[in-house]
Amino acid sequence: VEATYAQANRLAAQAKQYGQAGQASEAFYSVRNLRNVRDSIRNAVAQIKAHSENVRQHRDETRQLHEQTTALQATASAAAQARTQAMARPQHIAICEALELEALQQERKLASEAAELRTQITQEALALAKAQTVSEREAELAANVDVVNLAPPPKPPEQALRRSFYFAAPAHFPLRGFGPRGDVYDLHGALIYEDMEFAFNENGDYEITFRVGTPAVPTTLKLQFIVDCGEGTTPFPLTLEPLYFPAATVEHREIHPAVVRGHSEILRRRFTEIADVRRDGTAQFGFGLRVLGRTEDYQPVAR
């Protein structure tokens, strides 16, 4: 438009110079029209620029609004998620509490069942031990009782097998004495001499033969024999009745031959199993309560 307007001015000036007034007037009208068009175009361009600016501003505002909307949507989403979590938190807490309560109940139930099981096992063990004890006791009682229909009849003494154990060493029971100054010393006391014999047969009859020397005071011997049936077994005792020997009539000791006879069922049952016999005992010297008018018991005892 500017170039056309400049060219029209030049043409109008040339036409006026050469005297072409009509053409010049027409050129001026054309130029004026072009000027109007130029002004219109300028106005349109200005409006377009203003519109473009408005559009740009609207676009910026739209972008800002979009960003704000996006931010608001994110905030709303976060708020909704937080609200959902906040709403779900009590449920989670309730669920956790319910699970903890259930676990505690299960634990208590298992502990109760374990206690009941331990009690049952203990009762069964006690019952089993009691049954075993009763069974062993019954077996022992059955072994100690002679059943007439089952036990073999005893053989005549001259036909029954016989076993003997000899004690080669003597057994001394010293008598304790006291000197004028309170000195303590041992007197001869009682003495079982060598070759004491412990004999028994398969019928359970036993015979103990020995010689004993006693002092000038009454002497009471209390003897016991320990019978051992070998490795892995428990020795059992055989206790004799107290043996009384009167006081010697002279200062020197008296020698008494002694024979003790008796019967023992355990000797009969264990006749072939007996491996060894040991002896033990005590001696009591003095009259003790057998003397009338005595208030004290004079019983010096020594092994």
- For residue range 51-102, what is the model confidence (pLDDT) as tens digits? 888 888 888 888 888 888 888 888 878 877 877 777 767 777 888 888 888 8
pLDDT band at 242 (very low <50, low <70, confident <90, very high): very high
State whether residue 151 is helix, strand or coil: coil
Joined together, the tokens standing for residue 149 give: 């229909």
| Average pLDDT rounded to a whole number, residues 135-141 | 69
pLDDT band at 299 (very low <50, low <70, confident <90, very high): very low
pTM exceeding 0.75: no
Is 3:31 a contact under the CB 8 Å cutoff? Answer: no
Is 237:263 a contact under the CB 8 Å cutoff? Answer: no
pLDDT computed for residue 293 by the predictor: 42
CB-based contacts of 211: which residues, under 8 Å, 6+ apart?
A: 192, 193, 255, 256, 257, 258
Q: Is the pLDDT of residue 294 over 50?
A: no
Q: Is the pLDDT of residue 232 over 80?
A: yes
| Core vs surface per residue 17-53: b (16+ CB within 10 A) or e | eeeeeeebeebbeebeebeeeeeeeeeeeeeeeeeee
- Both ends of the chain: CA-CA distance in Å? 158
pLDDT computed for residue 126 by the predictor: 86
CB-based contacts of 4: which residues, under 8 Å, 6+ apart?
A: 34
pLDDT computed for residue 74 by the predictor: 83
